[in-house]
Chains A and B, each alone.
Chain A
Amino acid sequence: MKSDLSEKLKILADAAKYDVSCASSGSNRKNKGKGLGNATGMGICHSYTEDGRCVSLLKILLTNHCIYDCAYCVSRKSNDIKRVAFTVQEVVALTINFYRRNYIEGLFLSSGIFKNADYTNERLIRIAKKLRNEENFHGYIHLKIIPGASAEVMKEAGLYADRLSVNLEIPSERSLKHIAPEKNHKSVYEPMNWLKEQIIENREDRKKHRSAPVFSPAGQSTQMIIGASPEADCEILSIAASLYDKQGLKRVYYSGYIPVSSDDRLPAVTSVPLIRENRLYQADWLFRFYGFAMDEIVNKTHPNLDLEIDPKLGYALRHLELFPVDVNTAPYEMILRVPGIGVKTAGMIIQSRRYGKVRFEDIKKMGAAMKRARYFITAPNYSLPLSTDQPSSIRHQIVYQGKKAQLSLF
């Protein structure tokens, strides 16, 4: 029996690992009446896998039985793998026992689809409900909403979960038709739009009556698989921008496609596009925290992100006319646009310059990456490095700096 559970855990964790979302942040669930757990503020990563990803939640599938045959998915119907399923009690016991030992922040529960979307979602909700009502559990719960879920089912899910997510997976409808013919984008966008309305409505209700029940307090997120279909970065990022704007998502995750099958509907790839994935996240950050518009980062002339340099540096090199920026007089928004200066350093510069002039050395000590920043700022007694009027020469110096010594050996 015990070894059976251990075996199931291995299979259903392995099958769930391709969902990259692991956030446990953004909720505010306090521990009421001496129960177990809380979910407040910033979220905690309790461990890191050998691929460097955060382990915050017990991320598992309820089952890997699935009626669909999506080419990109390891649990697709036609794949010859062992099929197992947890019982409700098994998931509850694992969650509670891992949580009490401080292994996890909570549970992230997804599933292969059996019968239909609602039937599957109801099984997931049953577990969340038991954790909340019977175990008095106030830790974090992230529930997956299966595309095509009905309003009644989602309504219940939102009462027990901190976050809900419907995965877009394949960025565009035309690629989806090709790779996962049984799915369509309508069945993803409809639940997302419905959830958005509910989340906003619930926030309004909570302002009026503090006792109103909470509905998915940490909002909703989604994931797109990158590299399983031919979309360019500008298409992917404009979809992301629209998801943030129109569906009000908290997070869009980008998951570099890992070849799990040799299906001829998929491109023959041998390695995971890790650098591209990283650049997409950087672009996403620029959009959400740095005040960039998506078309400033990628557009028709530059449809793909530069793999060699980060997107902020790319922007600066295309817009040298805006630089150098005077750190003592420029507005915060402009200091944020300097390559190598992040939100924290920009804040420190703004704070410090009220007391007097901020010098080049001060910025360096505050933690800016001067390797990049030094080409784009002015400060008292500091002059720009020579030959910085050409984007190509700055780019060359930044990319090859530090590598020179190595080269000269040969």
Chain B
Amino acid sequence: MVNILLYDGTYEGLFSVFFDCYKEKYAPVSIQKERNYQPAMFDHSTFIPTELVKSDRVMKGLRKKLSSTAFSNLTKAFFSEFEDIEMTIYEYVQLVFNNKMNIEKDYRQSSVLRISQVTKKVNREIHRMHAFVRFQKTTDNIYAATIRPDFDVIPFIGSHFKERYADQLWMIYDTKRDYGLFYDLTRLDIIRLENPEWEGNKKIKRTLYSNNEIEFQTMWKNYFRATSISERKNMKLHLQHMPRKYWHYLPEKQMV
């Protein structure tokens, strides 16, 4: 019989599970988010509640043994939401506590290599959000964008946009996870819209566009077309850099 440990889906929740495992000297075989869990016939599951006292202690211990980059990489890997990421993080944490030496650069260890690879993926998605987010200016002067990233990267993209667009109102909303960021010229807040209304493909409603929004989108499209060199056309390379899944963000890839 498999005992599945369930937690509330937060990072602190996962670390509370680690604390209990350590205390009970229990080696978990599967840790899952409660909302994702689908019981199978012979499963046995235990829900472990989040307790900040517990998670803080484990994190404090980790911070002592890891560089700050390695610690934040672990957090980024968690937000990849990969199905097996909990067990990978568990193995990584075990490795950290069972070694005197700092193991964060021992890429021969499967969990260290896996965390580094997943972090790379999450970082790439963050970078792609910096690149592919497209704001549409609305009638109330908010530059608004919707996104549907593969990983939950909203927690990691705010500072970039806040620094860059310090003098404009902006909003970036993850329509897949139904929450986002809003900057009001002074503060950056995490927001959840109540009954949001979207255009098809969950985009900002065209009726909300400010006066010259369409005009600038059209000019950008024209620019994009004019700057391409047809003699060098290479769609394979184009798709490699700009995968189809991001096209719906981009005015330059819309037909009309």
Please state if B113 and A13 are interface contacts (CB–CB under 8 Å): no
Q: Choose among B134, B224, B225 the residue that contacts A101 (Cβ–Cβ < 8 A).
A: B134
Contacting B at CB under 8 A, from A98-133, are 98, 100-103
| CB-defined contacts of A11 to chain B, threshold 8 Å | 226
Please state if B113 and A44 are interface contacts (CB–CB under 8 Å): no
Please state if A366 and B107 are interface contacts (CB–CB under 8 Å): yes
Cα of A59 to Cα of B216 in the assembled complex, Å? 16
Cα of A356 to Cα of B168 in the assembled complex, Å? 53
Cα of A101 to Cα of B145 in the assembled complex, Å? 9
Range class of the B interface residue count: 35 or more
Range class of the A interface residue count: 35 or more
Cα of A136 to Cα of B164 in the assembled complex, Å? 12
Q: Annotate B102-113 by CB proximity to A: 1 below 8 A, 0 otherwise.
A: 010111100001
Say whether B60 faces chain A, with CB atoms less than 8 Å apart.
no
Interface 9-mer from A30-38, A150-158, A206-214: A30-38
Say whether A84 faces chain B, with CB atoms less than 8 Å apart.
no
Say whether B187 faces chain A, with CB atoms less than 8 Å apart.
no
Knowing A352-B108, A355-B108 are in contact, say whether A97-B227 is a contact too (CB < 8 A): no
Please state if A10 and B235 are interface contacts (CB–CB under 8 Å): no
The smallest C-beta distance from B131 to any residue of chain A, in angstroms, reads: 5
Using CB atoms, name the residue of chain A closest to B130: A44
Interface 9-mer from B8-16, B31-39, B73-81, B135-143: B135-143
Cα of A351 to Cα of B108 in the assembled complex, Å? 10
List 21 A–B pairs whose Cβ atoms lie within 8 Å, in order of A's numbering.
Answer: A6-B222, A9-B226, A17-B228, A30-B163, A34-B185, A36-B164, A36-B165, A47-B132, A47-B252, A50-B234, A51-B228, A94-B219, A98-B220, A101-B216, A258-B229, A272-B231, A352-B105, A352-B107, A358-B108, A362-B108, A366-B107
A interface with B by C-beta (< 8 Å) = 2, 5-6, 9-11, 13-14, 16-18, 30-31, 34-38, 44-55, 58-59, 94, 97-98, 100-103, 136, 256, 258-259, 271-272, 274, 348, 351-352, 354-356, 358-359, 362, 365-366
* A-B contact sample (20 more), CB < 8 A, given A31-B163, A58-B223, A356-B106: A6-B218, A9-B219, A31-B164, A31-B166, A37-B164, A45-B241, A50-B230, A51-B233, A51-B234, A51-B237, A52-B234, A54-B241, A94-B219, A101-B143, A101-B220, A256-B232, A272-B232, A351-B105, A355-B103, A365-B113
